[in-house]
Amino acid sequence: MAMTNGKTLVTMIAAGNREIQDFLESDQRETPYLVIDLKVAAQQFRRLTGAFRETTVFYAVKANPQPQLIRQLAQLGSSFDVASPAEIDLCLSEGADPGRLSYGNTIKKAADIRYAYDRGVRMFVFDSEAELRKLAEHAPGSAVFCRLLAGSAGAQWPLSRKFGCAPDMAVSLLVQARDLGLRPVGVSFHVGSQQLDPTRWDPSIAQAAQVFREVAEHGVHLTLLNCGGGFPAGYQDPVEPIDAYADAINSAVERHFGPYRPTLAIEPGRFIAADTGVLRAQVVLVSQKSYEDDHRWVYLDIGRFGGLAETEGEAIQYRLVTARDGEPTGPVVLAGPTCDSVDILYEKAPYRLPLDLEPGDYVDILGTGAYTTTYSSVGFNGFAPLATFCIGDSA
């Protein structure tokens, strides 16, 4: 019962935002653009901290680095997962304390580590000996944590094998970290983005507990378990409420760590940012490929290169709203405006749009506050990067 209510709620956030609707109706701005409501980000942040008690929240900046959003989260007490000097500068200039930044990219240039260290960042991740040696040299004495390889089964935007190392390697690297004068504090992992299955955290938590026990035998006492991101947003299909994830993670921690409960951290990106945004696009062309086939192709003024990169493999399936909703619909292939043939959004997914949809009509793409502006190209075919407007600024 509780789950059904949660699902309804998640679906409503994206669709029924009065302020965003008012903004969209208030003016004829040039499309495409994204409008984000900062109040929704605050709501999502509170929902997370309500579900995850005594857990440090590191917002993954890459999900949406809009400065007002960063400022808002900093004011709410969020910490930040950053991946580059530019993200560090952004967080610092929007009021975050360097002590609240975690350099969570396992692949860092030596100069960038030094840059972070010089600005007061003292928390870094690694997943290899070579990276650990860079950290020892350029961020001496810093707190470091080791990222474990994690399976991405169940995730709609998987992270595969690029990040993390095997548990036995993590054990020797964490011991080595101490010997190199660093401060080994814990372990992290990421179960894949838009992870629909709350039980997918359990295997990594079990591995982490094993790593904690094994390094303790070498006199290294870890305290931090960083469970990464992956918490899903509701797109076409509703998702389980965030409490289901918090409960699954907390009970896994209890099961595998027993009385030696570590300090928990999470790194949500999508969960905080996705529901803040609606992307307004316009229909450029509606056409058919032959007189025999009445399947319509609908070309929008945004596509794979304008910010909708997560439609790759039709992985993320956004909900669409038009002013003609309620009228009879038919199946469509949806594509972007560029001269690249991979610029097709949905061909296999069964999208339907109103039959009398025509060029100039708006198509609003819901739940687009995360992983859109950051993926938008700087000018493929001369199309400008995706513009963002912010509303609901309380600062």
Q: Which is nearer to ligand PLP, 230 or 306 (CB)?
A: 230
DSSP code per residue over 303-329? -TTTT-GGGGGG-S---EEETTBTB-E
Whether residue 339 lies in the annotated active site: yes
* From candidates 40, 60, 209, 265, binder to ligand PLP by CB under 6 A: 60
* From candidates 6, 104, 337, 367, binder to ligand PLP by CB under 6 A: 104
Between residue 243 and residue 262, which ones bind ligand PLP under the rule CB under 6 A? none
Selected range binding ligand PLP among 20-28, 58-66, 89-97, 136-144, rule: CB under 6 A: 58-66
The two tokens of residue 143 are 């707190």
Q: Kindly provide the residue ranges of all beta strands, DSSP E only, lying in the chain, ordered along the sequence.
A: 33-37, 55-60, 79-82, 101-103, 123-126, 143-147, 155-157, 183-188, 193-195, 224-226, 263-266, 277-287, 296-300, 320-322, 329-335, 344-346, 352-354, 362-366, 387-391
Q: Which is nearer to ligand PLP, 103 or 380 (CB)?
A: 103
**Are the C-beta atoms of 79 and 58 separated by less than 8 Å?**
yes
The two tokens of residue 230 are 């992956």
Smallest distance, ligand PLP to C-beta of residue 232, A: 8
* From candidates 184, 186, 230, 277, binder to ligand PLP by CB under 6 A: 230
* From candidates 100, 134, 190, 296, binder to ligand PLP by CB under 6 A: 190
**Are the C-beta atoms of 201 and 248 separated by less than 8 Å?**
yes
Rounded (10°) CA dihedral 164, 100, 67, 84: -40
Interaction of residue 268 with ligand PLP, rule CB under 6 A: yes
Interaction of residue 41 with ligand PLP, rule CB under 6 A: no
* From candidates 10, 14, 41, 63, binder to ligand PLP by CB under 6 A: 63
Smallest distance, ligand PLP to C-beta of residue 341, A: 28
Q: Which is nearer to ligand PLP, 108 or 270 (CB)?
A: 270
Interaction of residue 229 with ligand PLP, rule CB under 6 A: yes
The two tokens of residue 246 are 């918090």
Closest CA to 305 of 388, 376, 378: 376
* From candidates 193, 250, 373, 374, binder to ligand PLP by CB under 6 A: 193
Q: Which is nearer to ligand PLP, 148 or 209 (CB)?
A: 148
Q: Which is nearer to ligand PLP, 198 or 269 (CB)?
A: 269
Residue whose token pair is 């918490």: 231
Interaction of residue 108 with ligand PLP, rule CB under 6 A: no
Interaction of residue 234 with ligand PLP, rule CB under 6 A: no
Dist CA 104 CA 81 (whole Å): 6
Residue 353's alpha-carbon distances to 129, 161, 322, 346, 377, in angstroms, are 52, 38, 8, 12, 27
Q: Which is nearer to ligand PLP, 36 or 357 (CB)?
A: 36
Interaction of residue 267 with ligand PLP, rule CB under 6 A: yes
**Are the C-beta atoms of 107 and 101 separated by less than 8 Å?**
no
**Are the C-beta atoms of 70 and 79 separated by less than 8 Å?**
no
Dist CA 345 CA 347 (whole Å): 7
Q: What number of chain residues touch ligand PLP (CB under 6 A)?
A: 16
Q: Residue numbers of the site for ligand PLP (CB under 6 A)?
A: 60, 62-63, 81, 104, 190, 193, 228-231, 267-271
Catalytic residues: 339
